[in-house]
Homo-oligomer: A and B are copies of this chain.
Amino acid sequence: MPACLLSASLCMPRVQVAIEPWSAGSGIPEAKCVLNGINITQILSPRTVLCKVVGVIFALASGLPVGKEGPMIHAGAAIGANVAIGPRCIKFLSEFRNDRDKRDFAAMGTAAGVASAFRTPIGGVLFAIEEGASYWNSELTWRAFTAACVAIVTVYLLRSRGLSLLTDPLDSHDMFIFGQFSSATDTDFYFWELIIFTAMGVLGGLMGVCFIAANKQLNVWRRARLGSSRVLRLAELVCLVTLVSVVAWFLPLAAGRCRPVPTHVEGWSESGVRVLNSLVRHNCPAGHYNELASLFLVEPDQAIKALFHLGNGTLSWHAPALFFVAYFALECLTPGAWVCSGVFIPTLLSGAALGRCTGQLLGRNPRTYSIMGAGSLLGGVMRMLISLTVIITEASGWVLFVLPLMVVFLAARSAGNHFNDGMNDTQILARRIPFLQHQPPESIRQQNVRVHQIMTQEVKCLQPVETVERVYRTLRSCDHNCFPVIDGESRPFRRRYTLRSVLLGTILRKTLLVLLARRRFAPPSADDASMPRPLPVLAWGDLEGRYPKYPRMEHLDLSEEDGRCLIDLAAYVQVGPHSMNEHASAHRAYEMFRTLGLRHLTVVNHFNEVVGIISRENLLPCNLQQPKPKVGSPLPRRRWRASGGGGSSGGGGGDGASSPQKRSSRRRERSIEKMLQRATGMHKGA
């Protein structure tokens, strides 16, 4: 058996990962990023899905402590997104070929993925809501609801294996992946035990903190020592699988106690009786089972059912305790290895073992305690509340668990969040994905930071009519995705207030690339040398028809003569884009990014002149450690940090160091400066 585990493990998962690096890991962080509005094409590509699905099958077969639910969720999101950008020939789907609908479809796919992974349709929708809450809306609720409903009907149909559905009632036990709890004696608890559950939740939260911190350190070590060397990564995987196989085989031999299989099962629930079939004999005499082997040498689902449903007197307290120690340690090692893996089921399993051991030691109902133990560790690692409560309730079929589970998850989350972020957020941070949390970073919230302190000043601007050469050079010179279109020349920003560079709109890189590729440029027209010869406008369908595959720089074929042609961007500009005054608070900018799902925001001054741009990168905590003290602000530096309170109405003296100019705009500028001084005095001081 260990040989079989070893061989299965070695053949494929690594190959999958080598083909498509995004298919490694659990997939939940990726799904979360997609729902947050981040567009990383590879995450959702069909190749990733395929690698993930095949990879997870082999990973499970290898016996590693991994779960299939993370990859199923990722696969669900990817399938959803690929339906949205499906074959162009299907007319009905063509209106969904844009980022927003793709994201919505990914959310629906996520819901369906969770629904089929745990057979919990409501849990699926809630998972998508809780993870993707930044752009949730009621429209999306019913779509995700429908997707989850269809997914679960499909699962029912597939599991029915034929037409028995028409003649027999549903096998309810089959639909609960944790086995159905169906009687009050299975699950009783006293009200005062909520206090114990709270303590278990806190403990689970702290263990989650350790798990996440240990795994993070391990992954730092992995990146430093193993890098992306295929040989080293494969060697690591071989070691890991060998270790798991050895522990799973020999620990039961060494420490597992043999017990006779119970025969008197009256009073047992049906789920408990069913579990008896999956007990493992291992080295025991006939009619007996090895306690530890029944946990180690079965599928994780079965082990969970055994912990949840076996009656009193079938497991001694030290079997789950030993199992917990060994399994939890192995589980810490796995995330980050080059294997498709979820932590959901393994965490649940080790938590259940811990809970069962606690329950038996306290002399309480071990079934209830194993559920609560599973919840506490899961809550400590995942830090979600409502979706986890519903998933566990739905998957165990016992509604009375709702209240204790809520208590456990609240305790675990509160304890855990005190020390570090949840597993998914930690992984997202480690991958340096520009994911925006709901709460802005501390530095923005605390310090009354203004937009101009966090913006990027180097903006590449375009004018409504440009030469092809300049457009091409602009695209070449940076990897910005959004270019403000301004009226007049783009001047250096130290000399603002020349009233030349008023923001007219923005244009996207992809639009420029399509225009260049489709050769929408012409030599100057006869009557107006500053305008190109009139050309028919490219329709929306032509611009966006190739979504999401736009022409690429290296495929453009432009001659020197083309370079002198003019290109008229006016028809393609987004007029009146989202913009923000440089003195507005950065907190507000963050909120706009987060709630409207923006990717960039043009920063303007009081005359609507472009002075900077903000993208998601500007808002990440790592880039915000020290907001710049003062950039591009007309406020005199010495007053910026002056504490207000008294004398906000100070005269107009002491403004900036710029040379006096005789422009009419200068007077206005001064009065605005004066006003801003007073305003800032108040904002800082009050």
Contact = CB atoms under 8 A, between A and B. Distances in A.
Interface of A: 121-122, 125-126, 129-130, 133-139, 141-142, 145-146, 148-149, 152-153, 156-157, 160, 165-170, 172, 175-176, 182-184, 188-192, 194, 385-386, 389-390, 393-394, 397-400, 402-403, 406-407, 410, 413, 438-439, 451, 464, 487-488, 499, 502-505, 525, 527-528, 531-541, 543, 568, 570-573, 575-585, 588, 591-592, 595-596, 604, 606-608, 644-652, 665, 668, 671-672, 674-676, 678-679, 681-683, 685-686
Contacts of A156: 191, 403
A157 B194 CA distance: 12
A504 to B, nearest CB: 6
Nearest to A609: B608
Contact of A130 (B138, B575, B646, B672): B138
Given A121-B406, A403-B156, A190 B172 contact: no
28 contacts: A122-B386, A129-B136, A136-B136, A142-B410, A145-B386, A146-B410, A148-B406, A156-B403, A165-B192, A167-B190, A175-B400, A394-B399, A398-B399, A399-B399, A464-B671, A464-B678, A499-B668, A504-B606, A528-B652, A531-B649, A534-B646, A534-B647, A536-B645, A540-B686, A570-B676, A571-B649, A572-B679, A607-B608
Given A570-B679, A608-B607, A672 B504 contact: yes
Nearest to A540: B686
B439 A139 contact: yes
Contacts of A584: 575-577
Contacts of A579: 581
Nearest to A585: B576
A276 to B, nearest CB: 20
Given A538-B686, A576-B451, A649-B568, A141 B130 contact: yes
Given A122-B393, A139-B439, A528-B652, 10 more contacts: A135-B595, A141-B385, A170-B190, A182-B184, A527-B651, A537-B682, A570-B648, A575-B679, A576-B584, A595-B596
Contact of A192 (B130, B166, B389): B166
Most chain B CB atoms below 10 A, which of A165, A188, A505: A505
A543 B682 CA distance: 12
Shortest 8 CB-CB distances between A and B: which pairs? A576-B581, A576-B584, A571-B682, A165-B191, A570-B678, A540-B686, A608-B608, A169-B188
Contacts of A672: 487, 502, 504
Nearest to A393: B399
Contact of A536 (B189, B572, B647): B647
A139 B686 CA distance: 27
B190 A166 contact: yes
A487 B668 contact: yes
Contacts of A535: 649
Contacts of A438: 137-139
Contact of A402 (B394, B402, B406, B648): B394
A539 B572 contact: no
Given A146-B410, A400-B175, A390 B122 contact: yes
Which of A135, A160, A534, A591 is most buried by chain B, counting CB atoms within 10 A of its CB?
Answer: A534
A537 B451 CA distance: 24
Nearest to A525: B649
A149 B647 contact: no
A79 to B, nearest CB: 20
B595 A121 contact: no
Nearest to A131: B138
A130 B138 CA distance: 6
A170 B400 contact: yes
B122 A389 contact: yes
Contacts of A527: 651
Contact of A537 (B189, B592, B644, B671): B644
Contacts of A675: 464, 487, 504, 570, 573
Contacts of A134: 137
A394 B399 CA distance: 6
Contact of A390 (B390, B533, B607): B390
Contacts of A176: 399
A402 B126 CA distance: 14
Contact of A648 (B393, B533, B537, B578): B537
A224 B490 CA distance: 64
A522 to B, nearest CB: 9
A191 B160 CA distance: 10
A489 B648 CA distance: 23
Contact of A534 (B172, B407, B648): B648
Nearest to A188: B169
A485 to B, nearest CB: 8
A116 to B, nearest CB: 13
A531 to B, nearest CB: 6
Contacts of A406: 121-122, 145, 148-149, 152
A580 B505 CA distance: 12
A145 B410 contact: yes
Contacts of A499: 499, 665, 668
Contacts of A541: 686
A685 B148 CA distance: 38
Contacts of A121: 402-403, 406
Contacts of A528: 651-652
Contacts of A570: 648-649, 674-676, 678-679, 682
Given A156-B191, A403-B153, A133 B137 contact: yes
A378 to B, nearest CB: 16
Contacts of A402: 121-122, 394
Residue from A399, A407, A439 whose CB has the most chain B CB atoms within 10 Å:
A399
B394 A607 contact: no
Nearest to A652: B528
A141 B534 contact: no
A487 B142 contact: no
Contacts of A505: 679
